[in-house]
Amino acid sequence: MTTPSESSFGLSVNRHSQADVSHSASSGSAVSAELRLLTQYAVTKVLADCDTLTEAAPRILQAVCETLDWQLGAVWTVDEELDLLVCEEVWRSSRATSKFEGLSREVAFPRGIGLPGRVWQSGEPLWVPDVVADDNFPRAPAAAEEGFHGAFGFPISLGGQTIGVGEFFSQRVREPDPDILSMFDNLGSQIGQFVERKRVEQELRQYRSLFENAVFGVFQTSPDGRFLAANDALARILGFASSKKLIESVTDIAQQVHVDPLRREEFSRILREAGAVRNFEAQAYRQDGSIIWLSLSARAIGDAAGNIARYEGIVEDVTARKRTELELVEMGNRLNATYNLAAVGISEIDMSGRFLAVNDRFCEITGYSREELLTYRFQDITYPDDVKPDADLFARLKAGEIETYQLEKRYVHKNRSTIWIELNVSLVRDAAGKPAYRIGVVQDITARKRAEQEAEAAQRHLSFVAEASAILTSSLEYEKTLDNLARLVVTGLGDLCSIDMVEDGLVRRVALAHADPAKEKPFLKSEPTYTPDPKSGHPVLRVTASRRSELINNVSDAALKSSARDEKHLKALRALGVRSAMVVPLTAGSRSLGAMTIVSAESGRRYGQADLALAEELARRAALAIENASLYEAEQTARAAAESAQQRLWFLAEANAVLSSSLDLETTLSRVAGLAVPWLADCCSVHIFPADGVEPRSAVTHVDPVKEELVRELHTRYPPTPGERHPIIEMMNSQTAVLVQEIEDPDLANFVRDDAHREILRRLDFKSYMVVPLIARGRLFGAMSFATSTEKRRYGHDDLSLAEELARRAALALDNARMYDEAQRVQDALRVALEAKDEFLGVMSHELRTPITAVYGGTRVLRSRGARLDEESKARLLEDIEQESERLFRMVENLLVLSRLELGQQVATEPVLAQRVIGKLASSFKQRRPARSLELKIDERMQPVAAEPHYLEHVLRNLLTNADKYSPPDSPIEIEASMRGDEAEIVILDRGPGIAQEETEAIFERFYRSDRTSSQAAGIGLGLTVCKRLMEAQAGRVWARPREGGGLAAGITLPVYKEV
């Protein structure tokens, strides 16, 4: 039975029932032919009504889906730049949110991938009976989730080239229909022609607009010299009132327009031979008889027989330019006479930097001929370092920011020498005011610059010595001072500077710098102290002993060998490319302290006597600074020792005051941990060991609060255990203090348990460590540890002695506080709560890990070996994933519902037909558990109940899931629904292990799990708690009782809905 209806496309069609359409689409009957005809008509009408594919696509998709009973359609277009298919439009019969639709809009397909990619690659329609089972359908998971199976795609083509793809999906497995594929192959060509037609129509509109509104003349003429078409701009150029008047008045272009008719003949000849002409210039008459210059660009248009049918092109009035050109020629003749006789160099350079003209003097200054220079840009003969300053000013000149500029710069003479010039530049603009070229006036100032440079060099030497003196007197830390001096040297005197001290044949490097910091690394990696062979002729030893400087103009490989410690050092020296070197002694009075070595490498500098004198002056001042620093260091060491003793006394006195201020154990613990930070340690930890029922306790203080939390995590996750070579275990075994002066990787390897443990220790970055025992009344009851992360600080025996003294006092205070705390048991309740929380987190971690592991493992197997698995194996994996995902979903859903209810969320009830909820739940259950027998007994007198439908379904689902979980696989589950007065009762009965009578209330408590069932199935004990809270929120009840013959009867009651 069909009924006429009006579709959204204005088509009067018969709306078939689902069964009729499905039958006709699969049977190939006359009705199917009718539907194909309706589809073709609908698509044709959409294309006729729309202007773009973007506008037409959703209407085409809707028309096809509604007419042929397909549930989703999509149009893809080719992105030529990316060479990918991208989704243009998706239409779906249902308005509900669709994961498959969203995925289709997001992805893009290359050729040969997915249904669209395969159609694109082949250029042919393609039918896939079931995309879920297709190996080359990346969207298969999303399609399976939403029930899509049958699909086909067709190319949208133009001239044999695929420009897009259309695809449609059905929620049924559908066998190929050659008639539909053939029809859509034709429709794809029709859509492609539609796209091309619309593009051509748009170009025609643009051409017409350009023709009518152009500021230049546009024409079409016949080969015999008549205007076929012209725009108003051409009429204005030739002095006519309109293009119509021009066409009517001019019948012979050669005689009426061209001043020289032969130019018209030449114009026509070029067009006949070449087919086009550009910028053809000729004189023309205006209507008033005046003469103007025209520039014509045109092409010849042929007819079907290959003969020229017409000429078309554009015309520009270039009269003003021609007049200017003539004037410039005259001006150039006048200027040329003086141009080459000037006493200064003159150049003309276009706006790209290329030389246009140069005079004789400019050629003399640069050494190049005029012909050579005219092939160059000014950048080509400019000294490399001076290109950018000149180019920047030139750019500002072009931009109109400045009209002139003056610059001193260098040219590279043809003989490769460097010459200095003074450049004055002016800008020349064209008639339109735009920059045309620049004129540069050049004077040779090489002699003046050389004199200035010599004066500057002398001044630099004086400044260099003054700066070195300032560095050497700025600090009494001589190693830091010498390092600053070495870095000063490599900025102006050498590429590498090394300062070495010599004591009893031992050479110790105290400073090293290179002009390129990256090249310091190979030398800094080597040991700073070494003993050269006395017979090797090492230059530092030689100069230190002789107290005489050495200047090496050309460093030989033999000299490098005498300076090298080993082959690796020699290789690094050779890599420097040393050219010249100076080695000068560091002498203070009668003592020779060492030597300073200055090396020239990349700079190519060759040292002379002036450089050596400067180096000797620097070395003399450096030696004096070293001597003064040594005296100061000795005085400071003595003073520091006295101050350290005084500080230790103060520290212990302060500790006594703090330790005696409280008897609260936690307060005392915290204060003890804080005593040593930051004066003695960056981190201090105090541990009280468990004994005689006393809980272990600890306290941590760190200078960095973030790292303090890391230390707490370290103590919590990785406490020392007996048998480990941990300093605390060693201390416990010996009951004496343990000192680790330098913490190294092998020390950590003795007790590091995993990568996370190693990462925490790496982030803490402890350098040195002490642990001392806490002993009171002859009993070891704890430990106190100290750690420093300071790069230069390492604990010694003095620090350990102070730590032991502090620990003795802390042990007494902690023991007193501990004895006091033993009488205080008020924290038991808090500890119980913490244990409950830890238990809950542990259970949740376990319960969450099980389904997640199953889902993760299953998906990994499908991804890595899915193509090799048979369908049964895949189905089992997918079933496992589905079941574990549902389990995880229910677990999280229970937690969220419970959370919302505990936050006081109000529940609004409404009339609900419980039998429908039960039917829907049973249907879903049978799909998931087809092997389980489910029996329904629904009272026909069931009335609507007052409930929230989703919460009612949630409760029944939890009860049914429990019954399924604990029942034997072959036993049935029964659902009974009946009326009990003004209440409806729904009971779910199973034949599982059941519960004891005394557990009927306890099973609804949070986290409760019966001893009978806890080992049979996983769970966290929240499902029934959620049921109870949800029923209470709906003014109902939930209950459970043992069932005769074994099993459990779990039920709910809800009031009948009554209008208020």
Per-residue pLDDT reduced to its tens digit, 147-187? 999 999 999 998 889 999 999 999 999 999 999 999 999 99
Where does a domain end: 391, 410, 444?
Answer: 444
Q: Residue 412: which CATH number?
A: 3.30.450.20
Compute the average pLDDT of residues 564-575.
78
Res 134 pLDDT > 90? yes
Residue 453 vs residues 162, 384, 465: alpha-carbon distances, Å:
72, 19, 18
How far is Cα 755 from Cα 760, in angstroms, rounded to an integer?
A: 9
pLDDT of residue 1017: 61
Q: Into how many domains does the chain fold?
A: 7
Compute the average pLDDT of residues 629-641.
74
Res 720 pLDDT > 70? yes
Residue 470, class by beta-carbon neighbours within 10 Å (0-12 exposed, 13-18 middle, 19+ buried)?
exposed
For the residues of 56-80, what is the DSSP string, one character each? HHHHHHHHHHHHHT-SEEEEEEEET
Res 735 pLDDT > 60? yes
Identify the weakest region by mean pLDDT among 292-301, 646-655, 1023-1032: 646-655
Of the two residues 308 and 118, the one the predictor is more confident about is 118
| Domain assignment of residue 647, yes or no | no
| Domain assignment of residue 328, yes or no | no
Q: In terms of Cα–Cα distance, which of 625, 608, 600, 634 is closest to 485?
A: 625
Tokens of 615: 């180096």
Torsion of CA 1049, 1050, 1051, 1052, to 10 degrees: 160
pLDDT of residue 3: 38
Compute the average pLDDT of residues 516-540.
76
Share above pLDDT 90 across residues of the chain, in percent, rounded to a whole number: 26
Compute the average pLDDT of residues 331-346.
74
Instruction: Tell me: do 759 and 611 sit in the same domain.
Output: no
- What stretches of 671-793 adopt beta strand conformation (E)? 683-688, 697-702, 738-740, 768-776, 779-788
- What stretches of 703-845 adopt beta strand conformation (E)? 738-740, 768-776, 779-788
Confidence of residue 442 (pLDDT cuts 50, 70, 90): very high
Where does a domain end: 388, 420, 444?
Answer: 444
Amino acid at 797: H
Res 831 pLDDT > 70? no
Instruction: Tell me: do 432 and 460 sit in the same domain.
Output: no
Q: Is residue 1005 classed as helix, strand or coil in its secondary structure? A: coil
In the chain, how long is the greatest CA-to-CA distance?
132
| Domain assignment of residue 834, yes or no | yes
Res 30 pLDDT > 70? no
Phi-psi region of 735 (alpha: psi -120 to 50; beta: other; left: phi over 0): left
Element (H, E) at 313: strand 308-317
Res 655 pLDDT > 70? no
Res 959 pLDDT > 80? yes
pLDDT of residue 21: 43
Is the bond leading into 678 cis (omega within 30 degrees of zero)? Answer: yes
pLDDT of residue 27: 41
| Domain assignment of residue 331, yes or no | no
Measured on CA atoms in the order 663, 666, 672, 677, is the torsion positive or negative?
negative
Phi-psi region of 504 (alpha: psi -120 to 50; beta: other; left: phi over 0): left
Q: Give a three-class secondary structure readout of 89-100.
A: EEEECCCCCCHH
Res 598 pLDDT > 60? yes
Q: Are 783 and 774 in contact (CB under 8 A)?
A: yes
pLDDT of residue 354: 93
Instruction: Tell me: do 817 and 831 sit in the same domain.
Output: no
| Domain assignment of residue 415, yes or no | yes
The answer for residues whose C-beta is within 8 angstroms of residue 306's C-beta and 6 or more apart is: none
pLDDT of residue 1019: 63
| Domain assignment of residue 937, yes or no | yes
Q: Are 128 and 150 in contact (CB under 8 A)?
A: yes
Tokens of 167: 């695809």
* Residue 293 CB-half CA count within 13 A: 13
Compute the average pLDDT of residues 269-282.
89
121-126-128 Cα angle (round to 5): 125
pLDDT digits (tens, 9 = 90+) for 894-939: 666 656 665 566 678 899 898 998 998 898 889 888 888 999 999 9
Q: Are 1006 and 875 in contact (CB under 8 A)?
A: no
| Domain assignment of residue 644, yes or no | no
Compute the average pLDDT of residues 448-461.
78
Q: Residue 716: which CATH number?
A: 3.30.450.40
How far is Cα 191 from Cα 40, in angstroms, rounded to an integer?
A: 11
How far is Cα 802 from Cα 652, in angstroms, rounded to an integer?
A: 9
Instruction: Tell me: do 437 and 484 sit in the same domain.
Output: no
Q: Cα 856 to chain center, whole Å?
A: 26
Element (H, E) at 442: strand 435-444
Confidence of residue 20 (pLDDT cuts 50, 70, 90): very low
The answer for residues whose C-beta is within 8 angstroms of residue 637's C-beta and 6 or more apart is: none
Domain that holds residue 829: 825-892
Q: Are 167 and 74 in contact (CB under 8 A)?
A: yes
Of the two residues 213 and 4, the one the predictor is more confident about is 213
Tokens of 894: 């229970």
Instruction: Tell me: do 813 and 829 sit in the same domain.
Output: no
How far is Cα 152 from Cα 601, in angstroms, rounded to an integer?
A: 73
pLDDT digits (tens, 9 = 90+) for 229-264: 888 888 899 999 988 898 889 989 888 889 998 888
How far is Cα 218 from Cα 592, in angstroms, rounded to an integer?
A: 94
Instruction: Tell me: do 234 and 270 sit in the same domain.
Output: yes
User: Residue 710: phi, psi to the nearest 5?
Assistant: -65, -40
Res 575 pLDDT > 70? yes
Res 73 pLDDT > 90? yes
pTM equals: 0.30
| Domain assignment of residue 898, yes or no | no
Compute the average pLDDT of residues 521-528.
72
Q: In terms of Cα–Cα distance, which of 584, 599, 616, 581 is closest to 514?
A: 599
Which residue in the block uniquely carries the two structure tokens 């790496």? 762
Identify the weakest region by mean pLDDT among 351-355, 750-754, 796-800: 750-754
pLDDT of residue 826: 41
Identify the weakest region by mean pLDDT among 265-279, 366-380, 660-674: 660-674
pLDDT of residue 824: 57
Q: Residue 867: which CATH number?
A: 1.10.287
Beta strands 506-514 and 529-530, pairing class = antiparallel
Instruction: Tell me: do 65 and 119 sit in the same domain.
Output: yes
Confidence of residue 198 (pLDDT cuts 50, 70, 90): confident
Instruction: Tell me: do 258 and 317 sit in the same domain.
Output: yes
pLDDT digits (tens, 9 = 90+) for 745-795: 777 777 888 888 889 888 988 989 999 998 888 888 889 999 998 888 899
Instruction: Tell me: do 421 and 459 sit in the same domain.
Output: no
As a whole number, the mean pLDDT across the chain is 83
pLDDT of residue 24: 43
Instruction: Tell me: do 667 and 791 sit in the same domain.
Output: yes
Q: Cα 755 to chain center, whole Å?
A: 26
Q: Cα 167 to chain center, whole Å?
A: 34
pLDDT of residue 212: 65
Instruction: Tell me: do 424 and 536 sit in the same domain.
Output: no
Compute the average pLDDT of residues 448-456.
80
Instruction: Tell me: do 285 and 428 sit in the same domain.
Output: no
The answer for residues whose C-beta is within 8 angstroms of residue 316's C-beta and 6 or more apart is: 216, 217, 294, 295
Where does a domain end: 425, 444, 463?
Answer: 444
